[in-house]
Amino acid sequence: GDANFAISTGSLSGGQVVGSTIQFSAASYTVSETGPRVDITLTRGGNVTSSASVNFVTNDGAGLTNCDVINHIASPRCDYINTLGTMTFAAGETSKSFSVAIIDDSYAEGAETFTISLNNPSGASLGSQTTTAVMIVDNETTSGPNPIDGTDFFVRQQYLDFLGREPDPPGFAGWVNTINNCSGDTTQCDRIHVSQLFFQSAEFQERGYFVYRFYPVAFGRKPDYSEFVPDLASVSGFLDANQLEAAKVAFIAGFMARPAFVSAYNSLNNTQYVDTLLNTAGVTLSSRQAMIDGLNNSTTTRAVVLRQIVESAEVSTKYNHQAYAVMEYFGYLRRQPDAFYLDWIAVLDQTNNPRGMVTGFVTSQEYRNRFGP
């Protein structure tokens, strides 16, 4: 689609243009479970002489309901992929579209529905159609074999779960061939190897670990799944180096504007600000005094200091295994980690064997049950 998935509360500017509205083109959409995606169109009317933008996000009430439960509610763990972002209209543009990927599981579950909503318009106001419903029409009358055992399905799911996008054809063909032609030392070409490479890709692990570290540094905790998904989306997509840097700067500005951060840090003086971040993160940096001096003489900013701490080698090393384990839950199981994540951290600390962890998740019954019996 045309969506720019870099969500940035920091980049929104300007007031609303009277008479300019953005809304969904239809109150509902229908898509076959074979999809593989549903295209959603936004329209802009009225005064379209300047640019405008709006955020969109998928919603459902599925929670952690097992994927074989028949309740006619589509789940982002089983039926479609969480999709959110910012749609930007250039001056004169009146129509834009984005896609939501559909997962063709093998459960016979009947039609299922999720919704998509609009929020946070800039340069326009919301029109009357701010929510649309998407119905996924089932293509099974009886539950069939689990499709995750098929190479094509497996590879596409790696793209969806870890990169948040459909495969590019050359990449897809390459990974399928890697698995199908795997022989000899299979640890270098089997499903586990391929899935681990997706997990450890720059698009997922590097960008994901970037946003992840702000939580232990600022709040002394790991991010929740519901926080991580939009945060990762804000720095995701096909971004060149300059676009990625702009997305990171915008993410930091938005993070620092969140009520929890404002409440904890905005009333502190510069020394307290630096020390509270370091104490919360549980690290000691040799650059502490330089950061304080830079804030006091206005040669640096609090956003820069926060980023310096987050990206320090000390923080990166300290939270690496924790994040690896937590992000496995986020990527493979699409949920909050349970207490067993501490065991996975211990295994990583003892063995430093990420392949073993990937094997545990890819072969787990919970992962497989996302797609079929």
Give the Cα separation of 75 and 66 in Å (integer): 9
Phi/psi class of residue 4: alpha, beta or left (left: φ > 0; alpha: ψ in -120 to 50)? beta
Give the Cα separation of 169 and 152 in Å (integer): 12
Give the Cα separation of 256 and 9 in Å (integer): 11
Decide if 63 is inside a domain: yes
What is the dihedral sign for C-alpha 260, 234, 59, 337? negative
Decide if 21 is inside a domain: yes
What is the dihedral sign for C-alpha 232, 331, 348, 178? negative
Q: At which of 301, 318, 335 does a domain end?
A: 318
Domain span at residue 137 reads: 9-144
pLDDT of residue 19: 77
pLDDT of residue 18: 58
pLDDT of residue 17: 41
Residues 235 and 136 in one domain: no
Decide if 120 is inside a domain: yes
C-alpha 362: how far from its chain's center? Answer: 19
Q: Which two tokens stand for residue 337?
A: 């980690």
Give the Cα separation of 20 and 18 in Å (integer): 6
CB 70 within 8 A of CB 110: yes
CB 67 within 8 A of CB 370: yes
Decide if 224 is inside a domain: yes
Residues 133 and 235 in one domain: no
Decide if 345 is inside a domain: no
Mapping DSSP to helix (H, G, I), strand (E, B) and coil, where does residue 212 land?
Answer: helix
CATH label of the domain that carries residue 90? 2.60.40.2030
pTM, full prediction: 0.89
Per the listing, tokens 């698009």 go with: 203
Residues 112 and 218 in one domain: no
Give the Cα separation of 234 and 247 in Å (integer): 7
pLDDT digits (tens, 9 = 90+) for 272-331: 999 999 999 999 999 999 999 999 999 999 999 999 999 999 999 999 999 999 999 999
pLDDT digits (tens, 9 = 90+) for 149-188: 999 999 999 999 999 999 999 999 999 999 999 998 999 9
Mapping DSSP to helix (H, G, I), strand (E, B) and coil, where does residue 373 land?
Answer: coil
CB 84 within 8 A of CB 40: no
pLDDT digits (tens, 9 = 90+) for 21-48: 999 999 999 999 999 999 999 999 999 9
Count up the domains in the chain and report the number.
2
